[in-house]
Amino acid sequence: MSATHEVFNQVDPLVGVNLFAGNRAMRDALRFNAPELDTAPLHTLGQQVGSAEMQTHARLANVFTPQLKSHDRFGHRIDQVEFHPSYHALMTAATAAGLHGTPWGEGAANPHLSRAAGFMLFTELEPSTLCPISMSYAVTPALRDNPAICADWAPQLTSRTYDPVLKHWKDKAGVTMGMGMTEKQGGSDVRANTTQAVPAGSDGWGQRFTVTGHKWFFSAPMCDAFLILAQTPSGLSCLFLPRVLPDGSMNQLFIQRLKDKLGNKANASSEVEFAGATAWLVGEEGRGVPQILAMGTMTRLDCALGTSGLMRQALSIALNHTSQRMAFGKKLIDQPLMKNVLADLALESEAATALALRLARSFDRPGDAHEQAMQRLLTPVAKFWICKRGSHFAEEAMECLGGNGYVEEGGEGIMARIYREMPVNSIWEGAGNIMALDLLRALRKADAAAALAHELAPAKGLHPALDHMAESLPIRVEQMATEMEARRLAQDVALAVQAALLAQTAPGAVFSAFCNSRLAGHWGHSFGSLGAGVDFDAIIARAQPR
């Protein structure tokens, strides 16, 4: 057999590279949004997440998935989730990099933008462990409306130490938080929730409730505490529910099973029952939806960031493969049709990066009226459009590898994991229709049209198709699109803002190709249908990960 089994024309995996140093689109977007940003930590993180050691941890955490341990060997109910050691190694690295609550507790400049870039880099390594990281980051704006709990938990929420042991929060160096909204009878329609919370007195953490009910999707059940929605006497309310109560006893939260999901395998998602669990009111009773959406806004940002990171990793793997693989007498990357596909994917990836980081910038400027208006507009727009493009992007990038991309082993097996991961960010925290409806709600603000016009103004006169869209969009915003038109409006706002950003952050070859294809219509209905006048080589060279 050895005489017939010579291995050749196979590809060295993309490993041992600095994912930040090789990402020109990210570096230029950061320079645009915060010229003074210290990127040294991102260089360090980029080297770490591109290493062979961390890629091995990512693979093992997905192969050896979480296991529910409902009882110990003596029959005592314990409701714990057991993870492979590689999962804990990934969580340790993400926490040490400050991707969870750190921006709320440290005084560095542009903390949310810096953290957003780090979140994207880590997503290229392993995205599903970032679910509890994201929720721990997002919880602070909502939790602040219970100052006593926030004061007690903030030091551990912002700590860069990961502590996976289930024990009293005061005895932990760091904690994580999750959330529970969805129930069997309604996914996005959380007002249909049936979980009941009965008043049970008050203490140093405020008004206390006894909670009975269930959650159909309960993200990251091994977290130390959760924000949940439940019906109180005044209506649907937001409650803080810890796993371990202040007296050290276990709360009455029971994990029924872990979800068997398409992707997101290293993360535990669950169904749970509350059988007289204890929780404390956060915010105003009866105002649970807007209260918990203060958390949801941040996790929606992370959905856009996460998909952008997955796009970048899929593109990098495709570029790495086609730069080495030979077919029909030359490298794949030198084949004209492959050039068109790779350049088209590079445009999509860079535009997603630009939009996601632009949104992240707005969270660093809470006192700026324009930034707050754009935050309201771009949060649903970025989550809708970037996440909606993700699955198609991953499929096309996988096709660049052919059958090698479809298998589950080796360095290129990452592509299959990316493909399975892509849909979750579009579905989680509000699917496409919910995001389009949220955009309509944002448009009811009086400053929406003016803010959008101001955002697009720097690119005026640089491309006729962008000029045409920039002139028409504020009018469409003022006229208030109907629900039937909401998805199309979200798409057009996303494309226009992406184009305006690329005009300010990307080379002319990228900007013109994006506008000609996405705005002027010189494009087909699949990746790889750019017009012949595109500078393919320049776009591909800019996107190369090495």
Please report the beta strands in 262-335, taking only residues with DSSP state E, as ranges in sequence order: 269-281, 326-327, 330-331
| Common-topology check for domains 169-288 and 290-543 | no
Distance CA(351)–CA(374), nearest Å, equals 17
Query: What confidence score (pLDDT) does residue 96 get?
Result: 97
Query: What confidence score (pLDDT) does residue 1 get?
Result: 57
CB 112 within 8 A of CB 104: no
Query: What confidence score (pLDDT) does residue 191 get?
Result: 83
Over its C-alpha atoms, the chain yields an Rg (Å, rounded) of: 24
Distance CA(469)–CA(15), nearest Å, equals 41
How many Cβ atoms are within 10 Å of 84's Cβ, its own excluded? 18
> Which of 128, 219, 221, 225 shows the shortest CA–CA distance to 175?
225
Please report the beta strands in 246-404, taking only residues with DSSP state E, as ranges in sequence order: 253-258, 269-281, 326-327, 330-331
Residues counted in the chain:
546
CB 104 within 8 A of CB 95: no
Per-residue model confidence as pLDDT tens for the chain (546 residues): 567 788 899 999 999 999 999 999 999 999 999 999 999 999 999 999 999 999 999 999 999 999 999 999 999 999 999 999 999 999 999 999 999 988 998 788 899 999 999 999 999 999 999 999 999 999 999 999 999 999 999 999 999 999 999 999 999 999 999 999 989 887 778 888 999 999 999 999 999 999 999 999 998 999 999 999 999 999 999 999 999 999 999 999 999 999 999 999 999 999 999 999 999 999 999 999 999 989 999 999 999 999 999 999 999 999 999 999 999 999 999 999 999 999 999 999 999 999 999 999 999 999 999 999 999 999 999 999 999 999 999 999 999 999 999 998 877 779 999 999 999 999 988 899 999 999 998 888 768 889 999 999 999 999 999 999 999 998 888 776 689 899 999 999 999 999 999 999 999 999 999 999 999 999 998 999 999 999 999 999 999 998
Query: What confidence score (pLDDT) does residue 188 get?
Result: 76
Query: Token digits for 59?
Result: 């693979």
Distance CA(400)–CA(525), nearest Å, equals 17
Tell me the fold of 290-543.
Answer: Butyryl-CoA Dehydrogenase, subunit A; domain 3 (1.20.140)
Distance CA(104)–CA(112), nearest Å, equals 9
Beta bridge partners of 208: 280
What do you get for the CA distance between the two ends of the chain, in Å?
A: 36
CB 122 within 8 A of CB 311: no
Query: Token digits for 91?
Result: 């969580």
Distance of CA 374 to the CA centre of its chain: 19
Location of structure tokens 């997955």: 310
Write out pLDDT tens, residues 48-88: 999 999 999 999 999 999 999 999 999 999 999 999 999 99
Q: Which residues contact 370 (CB under 8 A, 6 or more apart)?
A: 451, 454, 455
CB 129 within 8 A of CB 94: yes
3-state SS, one letter per residue, for 69-127: EEECCCCCEEEEEECCHHHHHHHHHHHHCCCCCHHHCCCCCCHHHHHHHHHHHHHHHCC
Query: Token digits for 282?
Result: 């956060």
Distance CA(304)–CA(120), nearest Å, equals 9
423: three-class secondary structure by DSSP? helix
> Which of 264, 245, 253 shows the shortest CA–CA distance to 303?
264
Query: What confidence score (pLDDT) does residue 480 get?
Result: 67
CATH 2.40.10.220 fits 169-288, yes or no: no
Q: Where are the domains of the chain?
A: 24-143+151-157, 169-288, 290-543
> Which of 213, 179, 214, 209 shows the shortest CA–CA distance to 196?
213
Q: Which residues contact 544 (CB under 8 A, 6 or more apart)?
A: 22, 319, 323
CB 285 within 8 A of CB 234: yes
Query: Token digits for 506?
Result: 């990307």
Indicate the pTM of the whole model: 0.96
Sort strands 177-180 and 196-203 into parallel, antiparallel or unpaired: unpaired
Query: Token digits for 445?
Result: 């603000």
